Structure 1
Amino acid sequence: MKQILGILKTLNLSGLAGPVLIILILAMMVLPLPPLVLDAFFTFNIAMSIIVLLVGINTRHPLEFSAFPAVLLVTTLLRLSLNVASSRVILMEGHTGPDAAGKVIESFAHFLIGENVAIGIIVFIILTIINFMVITKGAGRIAEVSARFTLDAMPGKQMAIDADLNAGLIGEDEARKRRQMITEEANFFGAMDGASKFVRGDAMAGIMIIVINIVGGLIVGMAQHDLPAGEAARTYTLLTIGDGLVAQIPALIISTAAGIVVARVGTDKDLSEQFLGQLFANPQVLYITAAVIGLIGLIPNMPHIAFLTIAASLAALAWWQEKRGRETAQAELAGAGAGVLPGAPMPEQPAAEVSWNDVQSVDMLGLEVGYRLIPLVDRDQDGELLRRIRGIRKKIAQEVGFLVPPVHIRDNLEIRPNAYRILLKGVEIGNGDAYAGQFLAINPGQVDGEVPGTPTTDPTFGLPALWIAADRREEAQSLGYTVVDASTVVATHISNLLQTHAAELLGREEVQALIEHQAKESPKLIEDLVPKVVPVGTLQKVLQQLLVDGVGIRDFRTILETLADHVPVTQDIDELTSAVRTALSRAIVQQLFPGENELPLMTLDPQLEGILMQAVQSKAGGGLEPGLAENLLANAVRETEAVEAQGINPVLLTPPALRALIARFMRRALPQLRVISHNEIPDSKTIRIIAVIGGGKG
């Protein structure tokens, strides 16, 4: 006995459950089963169908029940096996009476048929038609369309994941998880499309089995057992309809579960929560419905009690929903206004002396949101935007080289309900609108159709876009739109503005934190150079200038060592920045042209270059003639657009003496144009001139 128990422990019993069940199901088609065993299997079949239905109802996303196609196949095979086994018993032992195939079939037969065989047959046919023509066909069509749209939307979803990964909103593990989910979703709906054919085939097989059993029962009863025609027809019809009903009711339940699973739109709510939250949450709809039902109930000869009772119930529900909505809105306003409702008298408080505590410091970074965007930033509601902002700060720290200050978030009742404002030192640097629960479909310029939505503009890049409902997301992705949720819209806008204003975010405190962080790795370097050789103020200005030029300061050690060599010679920030850029040349070129040995560059016309050199070297500090400056800018814009149209990063190559001047001149009109000098080209790289910018009229 102990040896047997030891062997059982070594076996993976859960792994054997599937093969054993399939073998038993197939065995039922061949081996005769006694009525008692048939009762047990029919009961198990009904229980299994109810379990599948309840799991489908409580599933929030189709992938939570990813085993459903396989379950559909197994349960269909189980029903067919039971039909074969019961048909064998009915034809062999049906002459003995209504209980020949077990108590379950007999009970279902008497429950449905009673004393009228014709009514029983008609009701059974109606149930079969409902299952075959309505539920199964509809579920199969939904699965087919979902599979097609899921496959069409896969490229757009992959692009959205890559965009979030590149923006730092998600990590590599999260991106891998999302890609796997997309693949599983496509496989699921494809499998459901095929599995739905099993259910349709099962319904057809059920009808054919009934006809065969009735005809075969009449032949066997009358020819082999000498039963009268009437008694044979009644006995075998009773048994056959009971057998079909025992199999058809679980089939109807499983088909309903299949329809519920494939028809679900992925949300965080189950079916019951969606029904209650979307059907009965609008008081206006309930009031109108109550009025219509009440008017119908007043028509003569109508069942007044039923109609008026339902109308009164709907009106009462609408009143209760309206009252609860007002209480919720007042509670939100009270929370936003520090517990004081609008228009309510302020409580009297004793006057206190003014102190420094009354002076509020300005937040370095701030985000103000309208009250409808509060769920995006509320920790109690698991605000998605909070996690995204943490991801943005981490990404910028990795790319730029220092930790940006935290973003202080607050609600603002003075702005529009769906609006948000991004503040830098208390001054607005960006704003936009976002709609919680909706998605922004951005048109990248190559879409295959239109999708219903509210036209708008992407607040980050200025591209045409639409705010669309959540159920339109996959349709928009399949048409080529880039679809992002409201949290991603705000987070991307914040990320773009933080990178643009990185130099303003680098204050003395951040520079000191950089120095202390470097001191942990290179204590002797910091001790010898800062602030003995390199003043903190000079270091901050050079770092800010690098950030303005879009150069990261991750290689802090090289920056310090280069400044230590040049600070004793000059204190000019432009010259020190130029020296540091030369030292960081490989990193700068790698950032602009990753993995390329031949650098496609723009350059200045030699005649224009000579004029600019004279202006820079003039002791009087002579500036550019206005007409020349206007032509230079117009030509730069035209050439930059032409280079971008070729898919090339626009970079202008200038002499070292002109780099700072040209960069400042171009920065406002052409922020995407990067300016580098000849000294910043590594010896291992070659250059290829792709455009020449002149100073004459284009």
Structure 2
Amino acid sequence: MDLNYLLGKLKNSFSQGLGIPIAILALLAMVVVPLPPFLLDVFFTFNIALSLVVLMVTLYAKRPLDFAIFPTIILLTTLFRLALNIASTRVILLEGHNGGEAAGNVIASFGEFVIGGNFAVGLVIFAILVVINFVVITKGAGRVAEVSARFTLDSMPGKQMAIDADLNAGLITQEQAQERRKDITAEADFYGSMDGASKFVRGDAVAGIIILFINMIGGFAIGVGQHDMAFADATEVYIVLTLGDGLVAQIPSLLLSTATAIIVTRVTGDTRDMNEQLSDQMFANPKALGMTSGIVGVFGIIPGMPNVAFLTFAAITGAGAYFIYKRQDKKPAPEAMLAENIESTDTKSPELSWDDVQTVDVLGLEVGYRLIPMVDQSQNGQLLERVKGVRRKVSQELGFLVPPVHIRDNLDLKPNQYKIMLMGVSSGGGEVFPDKELAINPGQVYGKIPGTATKDPTFGLDAVWINPADRDQAQALGYTVVDASTVVATHISQIIQDYAFDLLGFDETQKLLDKLKASSPKLVDELIPDRLSLATLVKVLQNLLQEKVSIRDLRTIVEALSEYAGKTQSPNDLTIHVRTALGRSIVQDIVGPDAELKVITLEPRLEQLLLQATQGAPEGQLAIEPGLAERLHGTLKEESQKLEMQGDAAILIVAPQIRAQLARLFRYSLPSLHILAYSEVPENRQISVVANVGQG
């Protein structure tokens, strides 16, 4: 039976789920069955090696979740070490009177070589190790684990809302959102487990102290009382063996405590190992090493000090500061970067041509010079990728390809200001700070966070610009925290959705028809251009987009137009019929799969009055007196707020003839109110009237 066969058997046992149960049974056997000194040597050496492996894994782990099984490892290694303590105690008490070698070479070596065979020295060393392990490392690691677990659990709602914000802004896909939610859950489970696992480490340190005194007192009593050893011999033999056993157990315990402290103090979001973090953070600034070199050098020239040692380290730190300074690349100033984009006016211009006439960008983003690093990928700028994600998500939701966003700098803006341009006209903007993060108050938070108070430029919510170091605290208080790139990308997403009807033109509509023609050629050929002009189709699609209705289902839209194109060519009338055909998807987008619709209705007399107001008025207009419009607005606003407080969508259901006019009247003053026609509600939906609005 060769070694490869044994290793193969062992691997198969672990792969079949038998390895861990066998290991735990072996631990229990160590407690009951006496072990020979040879096996004790093997197990003590394995214990030290295992602790070193755990420590190295924590040092090279990119993030704490890469070693998520660490709490279980702590439990198993603690049980193994305690089982070894019991086994070694049995051997020391039974065979200690025969000399140090009787308890195994490892215990004897630590008792003789490490502490020099002097039990007084051993007691001092053991006491120092206990103080370092129990008082300093274990206690600190336990406190950090406890606080980390509490803050991780408190910050979960804020992190979940941040994921929802990124998903809604198109910055991440649904799969990425699910993966991030899994990471948040795993992180909470990990730190919760570490809070409990740190108690194992602390209990192991206490157990080591108690076992030491039990071994010394028991060994002295057995040696003197049962084996008739002299007082001095019993003291020398048993106390030295006990201290050797204690040191053999305390060293792995110290290594494991250090690993625990390292992994709970790691920064969760940093995906570099400790070597990279150390070099990037401690030795990134040559000024720190330079100042250290100067201070150590001053100590080195003071008479009576160890001049050689101090001057040597002063020279080493000074040389390190010099080489780091030389290695660092100087970043170009923002003004220099802007200057590269400005054409020289000294050269002679050629003759003007049509190429010199610049067309207006459909979508544009202008930024101040301090925001240039956000769009510069060489400086790790994330805004370009965020904008691409926004375009992808909004295009999928709206049903047509959103034009690209052209980004340029603008010296007329404030350094931290940005402006979103639509057809050359400013349609939104704000001020962001790339070195800070925006903590947005979603409506309910549990405290205040230090920072600069402001308003979220997209939705106008109360917000605070905070330092990135305060991100976890803000999320624990209920804030939704996003970086500056996400703020700008979210604002662009909202502008695109608000003005989608302006972004859809003849070319985009023709491309939609060409795509539909590939799957339904007969449907398209029958409608365009014989029965309906392309211009009318564009206007119908723009009407739908203006009312926040997606045009993804172009097949249903074209089928409805084919059915009613022979009866009317009015874009507004055709929009009514198309909305009726899209009723299921419209209602689905508003209330989801709920079968019941809680709606607001108009009293019959008021609805009849509004129907009369549309007669004789220009198409799409509603001729009512201002007082009635104001009272209607106030009542609808009050009823809408009641529904929203209950977590329901605010829906007003009216006759089809006045739906478009009312939607246009309250589009901007009541943006959260959805106005539907009776014909748009699917038959499988139940209507529950929660309010009836009259003239009063």
Which TM-score tier does this pair reach, normalised by the shorter chain?
0.7 to 0.9
Equivalent residue, structure 2, for 1:640 = 637
Q: Indicate conservation of the 8 Å contact 1:53/1:257, yes or no.
A: yes
> Structure 1, residues 589-641: CA drift from partner, whole Å, max 9, x if none?
4444443545512548956974884575158999969xx43772475156315
Unaligned runs of 5+ in 2: none
Equivalent residue, structure 1, for 2:402 = 404
Compared with structure 1, are the counterparts of its residues 332 and 113 closer, same or farther at alpha carbon in structure 2 (3 Å cutoff)?
farther
- Number of equivalenced pairs: 687
Q: Indicate conservation of the 8 Å contact 1:56/1:261, yes or no.
A: yes
Compared with structure 1, are the counterparts of its residues 196 and 10 closer, same or farther at alpha carbon in structure 2 (3 Å cutoff)?
closer
RMSD of equivalent CA atoms: 4.1
Equivalent residue, structure 2, for 1:489 = 487
2:280 corresponds, among 277, 282, 305, to 277
Compared with structure 1, are the counterparts of its residues 229 and 370 closer, same or farther at alpha carbon in structure 2 (3 Å cutoff)?
farther
Compared with structure 1, are the counterparts of its residues 214 and 512 closer, same or farther at alpha carbon in structure 2 (3 Å cutoff)?
same
Following superposition, the deviation at residue 464 of structure 1 comes to 0.8
Q: Indicate conservation of the 8 Å contact 1:549/1:674, yes or no.
A: no
Following superposition, the deviation at residue 85 of structure 1 comes to 2.6
1:541 aligned to 2:575? no
Other structure's SS at 2:125 match: helix
Compared with structure 1, are the counterparts of its residues 42 and 683 closer, same or farther at alpha carbon in structure 2 (3 Å cutoff)?
closer
- C-alpha distance in structure 2 between counterparts of 1:245 and 1:542, whole Å: 83
Following superposition, the deviation at residue 438 of structure 1 comes to 5.1
Q: Indicate conservation of the 8 Å contact 1:632/1:693, yes or no.
A: no
Q: Indicate conservation of the 8 Å contact 1:604/1:653, yes or no.
A: no
- C-alpha distance in structure 2 between counterparts of 1:368 and 1:102, whole Å: 76
Unaligned runs of 5+ in 1: none
Q: Which moved more, 1:476-485 or 1:456-465?
A: 476-485
Equivalent residue, structure 2, for 1:666 = 666
Following superposition, the deviation at residue 254 of structure 1 comes to 0.6
Equivalent residue, structure 2, for 1:247 = 249
> Structure 1, residues 513-533: CA drift from partner, whole Å, max 9, x if none?
110111122110111111222
- C-alpha distance in structure 2 between counterparts of 1:18 and 1:361, whole Å: 70
Compared with structure 1, are the counterparts of its residues 691 and 355 closer, same or farther at alpha carbon in structure 2 (3 Å cutoff)?
same
Q: Which moved more, 1:609-618 or 1:211-220?
A: 609-618
Q: Indicate conservation of the 8 Å contact 2:368/2:410, yes or no.
A: yes
Compared with structure 1, are the counterparts of its residues 620 and 351 closer, same or farther at alpha carbon in structure 2 (3 Å cutoff)?
closer
Matches within 5 A, 1:292-311: none
Compared with structure 1, are the counterparts of its residues 334 and 468 closer, same or farther at alpha carbon in structure 2 (3 Å cutoff)?
same
Other structure's SS at 1:329 match: coil
Following superposition, the deviation at residue 463 of structure 1 comes to 0.7
- C-alpha distance in structure 2 between counterparts of 1:671 and 1:43, whole Å: 71
Compared with structure 1, are the counterparts of its residues 21 and 614 closer, same or farther at alpha carbon in structure 2 (3 Å cutoff)?
closer
Normalising by structure 2, report the TM-score. 0.85
Equivalent residue, structure 2, for 1:688 = 689
Equivalent residue, structure 1, for 2:330 = 328
Compared with structure 1, are the counterparts of its residues 16 and 434 closer, same or farther at alpha carbon in structure 2 (3 Å cutoff)?
farther
Q: Indicate conservation of the 8 Å contact 2:138/2:201, yes or no.
A: yes
Matches within 5 A, 1:68-217: 68-114=70-116, 116-165=118-167, 168-217=170-219
Normalising by structure 1, report the TM-score. 0.84
Equivalent residue, structure 1, for 2:21 = 19
1:422 corresponds, among 420, 423, 430, to 420
Following superposition, the deviation at residue 282 of structure 1 comes to 4.6
Residue type of the alignment partner of 1:396: V
1:510 aligned to 2:512? no
Equivalent residue, structure 1, for 2:393 = 395
Compared with structure 1, are the counterparts of its residues 180 and 686 closer, same or farther at alpha carbon in structure 2 (3 Å cutoff)?
closer
> Structure 1, residues 308-359: CA drift from partner, whole Å, max 9, x if none?
666676666666666666x331288767765x8x9xx979989766666555
Following superposition, the deviation at residue 121 of structure 1 comes to 0.8
- C-alpha distance in structure 2 between counterparts of 1:19 and 1:410, whole Å: 63
Compared with structure 1, are the counterparts of its residues 367 and 304 closer, same or farther at alpha carbon in structure 2 (3 Å cutoff)?
farther
Q: Indicate conservation of the 8 Å contact 1:603/1:689, yes or no.
A: no
Following superposition, the deviation at residue 46 of structure 1 comes to 1.4
- C-alpha distance in structure 2 between counterparts of 1:288 and 1:461, whole Å: 48
1:237 corresponds, among 214, 239, 253, to 239
Compared with structure 1, are the counterparts of its residues 417 and 95 closer, same or farther at alpha carbon in structure 2 (3 Å cutoff)?
farther
Following superposition, the deviation at residue 584 of structure 1 comes to 3.3
Following superposition, the deviation at residue 487 of structure 1 comes to 4.4
Equivalent residue, structure 2, for 1:522 = 520
Q: Indicate conservation of the 8 Å contact 2:598/2:651, yes or no.
A: no
Matches within 5 A, 1:265-664: 265-266=267-268, 267-282=270-285, 327-330=329-332, 338=340, 361-368=359-366, 388-409=386-407, 419-435=417-433, 439-594=437-592, 595-601=594-600, 603=602, 606=605, 610=609, 613-614=612-613, 617=616, 628-629=625-626, 632-633=629-630, 636-637=633-634, 639-647=636-644, 648-653=648-653, 656-664=656-664
Compared with structure 1, are the counterparts of its residues 583 and 70 closer, same or farther at alpha carbon in structure 2 (3 Å cutoff)?
closer
What is the percent sequence identity of the aligned residues? 50
- C-alpha distance in structure 2 between counterparts of 1:303 and 1:659, whole Å: 91
